């Protein structure tokens, strides 16, 4: 095994591991077969498993996710790719009305073990319809599990957990992280959904981040360390199940909280997290909570404009400095 | 299948009589749902399929027990035709714990998974891609099952209909699309909002699959058409589309008195009632009127008993509201 692999290779590796161990795992999506995926996240799957398990589809997002649902209800474990997370809107009926509700409204008769994978987020100059961080869309619907890994090893380990999950999982892969590298996951690596990781320990402030915001928060923490502020960084890894206890546990030590979100402030997951903290952890706080999030605008195209909208290391550092006044 | 002809062993007669009785049970269950709604025992709304019975029952007679069925919010008849009992269905409508879905689904979501009736979906046309997926799954598992999606004429104008047909065709999957064309998309004549005369069947050639129309009020004709297309699909020759012409006796939903329908049209279709059509076939086969009357009496007794049992059933435990979101039976979303 190589010493390091990229995040994008970890996606394909995670899927391949599960396809090797379980013949019920099949993939479908646009350009995922011989082409290997437009982000090369399914590279090698077609060669190893053939067209009988890796199926190219038309540009038909409703049919992709709807068919995955029907297959999941009848004994398969489909992994469906929606190329860009913006396109989830094209099959939103399945994610909002069908997949998360069928188990409940049938009184538990039907289970839907599927994974919908998608490339999420901005920072690459793809413009307003190919750059959104959309994990909050899924967060509004009871019945969907939401995974958003930040490292190659977590990609592979969380993919294993997602595919083995008997519940539907929306798996957000971050476009801005595809080229990043890290140690590969060890054999049989499974990262259970709903377990946040403390990726940097610190005593002064807790930074909670997700996906591409994790390396950004870590960089901010290094800058803050130079100023004598010791930040703890939590990689949330999943929005559902949400590991609120790890966040509350960290606050018991640091007493200060900043959430770092790429999605717009309006309706962002940080709002849910800080409401839990306000409700259950108010006594732990020595300062107001702060949220760093994207501006509430569509993502612009130009680098300079996009950088203005998405959170940056500077913005995180500035927010944390604010809190030291308390 | 050779149709309702007299056979030396009387098998066809016995089969047709059984189909008639099944339709009679469904008709009476719908009538009971209607009456229970009017008496305040069914909340929300109902979309009755009285008049459509020959589609569910005729198709059911042509399918294997392990084939998959997906239905619409007008799906009581499909649930009943795939093994749900009148008592389970009426208890569900009446919000009782013994309901088919534990009273979490209601009229629009009747589901009998143990009969491979995998649900009733209230977003028009959403289940067509699901049936494609079930057929794909059957192919992957090599079971020779087929999947059937029943849907209304209104669904033929949504995107998922076209995506489902195309995907089923290019993957050559064992799926049947069965349109119950009752001439009205909710309150609007389908002809006013559709560019072709046969909203389902006329679209089939665009996807390179067979599209047929059939008298949807003739249970034998439906059975034969479904058997033909199902046999083709099961043999690996790909999907088929059947458009069954039928008519609903009630309005779109409980809020709709259906006054927009011309009186002569209603009268013409009521004279072509699926139960009457079947009775005519039975008479043609020499079945005595008393035999049919006895079947009606049995159907009446079954549904009356179901109504009484459902009325006596308890309401669900309120704590059930917080179960069944996840596969572990729970609803917990955070630590």
Full set of structural domains in chain B with CATH: 10-310 (3.40.50.970)
Q: What DSSP designation does A91 have? A: G
Q: Are B91 and B124 in contact (CB under 8 A)?
A: no
**Count of CB atoms within 10 A of residue B197's CB?**
10
Confidence of residue B6 (pLDDT cuts 50, 70, 90): low
d(CA A272, CA A247): 12
Pair of tokens at residue B287: 């079945």
Question: Rounded to whole angstroms, how far apart are CA atoms A290 and A256?
Answer: 9
Find the mean pLDDT for residues A73-86. 98
A325 — pLDDT class (breaks 50, 70, 90): confident
Choice among A1-5, A167-171, B192-196 with the minimum mean pLDDT: A1-5
The predicted-structure confidence for B7-65, as pLDDT tens digits, reads as follows 556 788 999 999 999 999 999 999 999 999 999 999 999 999 999 999 999 999 999 99
Chain B contact present for A208, CB below 8 A: no
Cα A203 to Cα A181: distance, rounded to the nearest angstrom = 28
Q: What is the pLDDT of residue B2?
A: 41
Residue recorded with tokens 């049995």: B298
Asked if B157 has any chain A CB less than 8 Å from its own CB, the reply is no
Q: Pick from A57, A108, A246: which is nearest to B329 by CB?
A: A108
The residue-averaged pLDDT of A271-289 equals: 97
Report the largest interatomic distance among the alpha carbons of chain A, rounded to a whole angstrom. 61
Q: Under an 8 A CB cutoff, do A63 and B114 touch?
A: no
Q: Which of residues 98-127 of A touch B (CB under 8 A)?
A: 98, 100, 102-111, 113
User: How far is Cα A107 from Cα A205, in angstroms, rounded to an integer?
Assistant: 44
pLDDT of amino acid B7: 57
**B178 pairs with which residues across the strands?**
B150, B242
CB-CB neighbors (< 8 A) of B134 in chain A: 70-71, 73-74
Digit-coded pLDDT (tens) for A56-77: 999 999 999 999 999 999 999 9
pTM: 0.96
- Taking the CB of residue B308, how many other CB atoms lie within 10 A of it? 11
Side-chain half-sphere CA neighbours of A116 within 13 A: 33
Is the backbone of residue B10 left (phi > 0), alpha (psi -120 to 50) or beta? left
Q: Which is it for strands B184-185 and B188-189: parallel, antiparallel or unpaired? A: antiparallel
Mutate to test the interface with A, among B130, B161, B323, B331 (most CBs of A within 10 A): B130
Whole-angstrom distance, CA of residue A185 vs CA of residue B292: 70
B185 strand-pairing partners: B188
The per-residue pLDDT of chain B, averaged, comes to 96
How confident is the model over B94-146, as pLDDT tens digits?
999 999 999 999 999 999 999 999 999 999 999 999 999 999 999 999 999 99
* pLDDT tens for each residue of B250-276: 999 988 989 999 999 999 999 999 999
Token pair of B184 as six digits: 């009205």
Interface test with A, best of B105, B139, B140, B176 (most A CBs within 10 A): B140
Contacts of A208 in chain B (CB under 8 A): none
ipTM here: 0.96
Chain A nearest C-alpha distance from B228 (Å): 24
Rounded CA separation A135/A263 (Å): 8
Catalytic residues of A: 61, 130
d(CA A258, CA A261): 10
Give the pLDDT band (50/70/90) at residue B159: very high
**Residue whose pair of structure tokens reads 């589609």 in the numeric block:** B55
* In the predicted structure, residue B1 carries a pLDDT above the cut 50: no
Tell me the average pLDDT across A1-29.
96
Contact B16, B275 (CB under 8 A): no
pLDDT at residue B254, as a whole number: 85
Compute the average pLDDT of residues B168-195: 96
Distance from CA of A304 to the nearest CA of B (A): 37
Please write the tens of the pLDDT for every residue from A163-214: 999 999 999 999 999 999 999 999 999 999 999 999 999 999 999 999 999 9
Question: What is the mean predicted confidence (pLDDT) over B159-187?
Answer: 97
Helix (H, G, I), strand (E, B) or coil at A175: helix
**Chain-chain contact of B326 with A103 (C-beta, under 8 angstroms):** yes
Per-residue pLDDT at A213 = 98
């Amino acid at each position: 095994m190589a010493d390091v692999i990229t995040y994008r290779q970890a996606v394909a590796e995670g899927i391949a591991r599960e396809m090797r161990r379980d013949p019920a795992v099949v993939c479908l999506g646009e350009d995922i077969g011989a082409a290997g995926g437009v982000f090369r996240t399914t590279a090698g799957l077609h060669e190893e498993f053939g067209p009988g398990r890796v199926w190219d589809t038309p540009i038909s997002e409703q049919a992709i996710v709807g068919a995955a649902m029907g297959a999941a209800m009848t004994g398969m474990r489909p992994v469906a790719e929606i190329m860009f997370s913006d396109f989830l809107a094209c099959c939103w009926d399945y994610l909002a009305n069908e997949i998360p509700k069928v188990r409940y409204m049938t009184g538990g008769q039907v289970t839907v073990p599927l994974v919908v994978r998608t490339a999420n987020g901005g920072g690459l100059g793809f413009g307003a319809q190919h750059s959104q961080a959309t994990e909050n869309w899924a967060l509004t619907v009871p019945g969907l599990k939401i995974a958003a890994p930040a490292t190659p090893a977590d990609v592979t380990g969380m993919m294993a957990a997602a595919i083995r999950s008997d519940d539907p999982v929306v798996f957000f892969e971050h476009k801005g992280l595809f080229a990043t590298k890290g140690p590969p996951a060890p054999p049989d690596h499974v990262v259970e959904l709903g377990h946040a990781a403390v990726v940097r320990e610190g005593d002064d402030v807790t930074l909670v981040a997700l996906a591409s915001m994790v390396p950004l928060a870590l960089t901010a923490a290094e800058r803050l360390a130079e100023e004598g502020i010791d930040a703890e960084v939590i990689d949330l890894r999943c929005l559902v199940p949400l590991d609120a206890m790890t966040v509350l546990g960290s606050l018991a030590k640091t007493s200060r909280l900043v959430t770092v979100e790429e999605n717009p402030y309006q309706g962002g997951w940080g709002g849910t997290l800080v409401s839990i903290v306000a409700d259950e952890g108010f006594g732990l706080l020595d300062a107001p909570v702060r949220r760093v999030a994207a501006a509430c605008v569509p993502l612009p195209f130009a680098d300079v404009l996009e950088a203005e909208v998405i959170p940056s290391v500077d913005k995180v550092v500035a927010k944390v400095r604010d809190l030291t006044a308390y | 299948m050779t149709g309702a002809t007299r056979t030396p062993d009387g098998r066809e007669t016995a089969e047709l009589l059984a189909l008639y009785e099944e339709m009679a049970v469904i008709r009476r269950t719908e009538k009971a749902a209607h009456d229970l709604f009017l008496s305040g025992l069914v909340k929300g709304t109902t979309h009755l399929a009285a008049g459509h019975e020959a589609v569910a029952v005729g198709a059911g007679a042509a399918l294997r027990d392990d084939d998959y069925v997906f239905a619409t919010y007008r799906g009581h008849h499909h649930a009943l035709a795939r093994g749900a009992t009148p008592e389970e269905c009426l208890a569900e409508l009446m919000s009782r714990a013994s309901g088919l879905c534990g009273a979490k689904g209601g009229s629009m979501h009747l589901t009998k998974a143990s009969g491979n009736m995998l649900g009733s979906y209230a977003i028009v046309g959403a289940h067509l891609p699901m049936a494609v997926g079930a057929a794909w799954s059957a192919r992957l598992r090599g079971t020779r099952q087929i999947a059937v999606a029943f849907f209304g004429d209104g669904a033929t104008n949504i995107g998922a209909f076209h995506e489902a047909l195309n995907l089923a065709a290019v993957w050559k999957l064992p799926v049947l699309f069965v349109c119950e064309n009752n001439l009205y998309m909710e309150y609007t004549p389908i002809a006013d909002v559709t560019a072709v005369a046969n909203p389902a069947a006329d679209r089939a050639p665009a996807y390179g699959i067979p599209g047929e129309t059939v008298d949807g009020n003739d249970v034998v004709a439906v059975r034969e058409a479904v058997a033909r297309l199902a046999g083709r699909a099961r043999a690996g020759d790909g999907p088929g589309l059947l458009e069954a012409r039928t008519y609903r006796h009630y309005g779109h939903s409980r809020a709709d008195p259906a006054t927009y329908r011309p009186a002569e049209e209603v009268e013409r279709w009521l004279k072509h009632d699926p139960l009457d059509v079947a009775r005519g076939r039975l008479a043609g086969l020499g079945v005595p009127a008393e035999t049919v009357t006895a079947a009606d009496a049995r159907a009446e007794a079954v549904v009356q008993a179901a109504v009484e049992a459902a009325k006596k059933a308890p309401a669900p435990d309120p704590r059930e509201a917080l179960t069944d979101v996840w596969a572990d039976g729970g609803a917990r979303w955070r630590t």
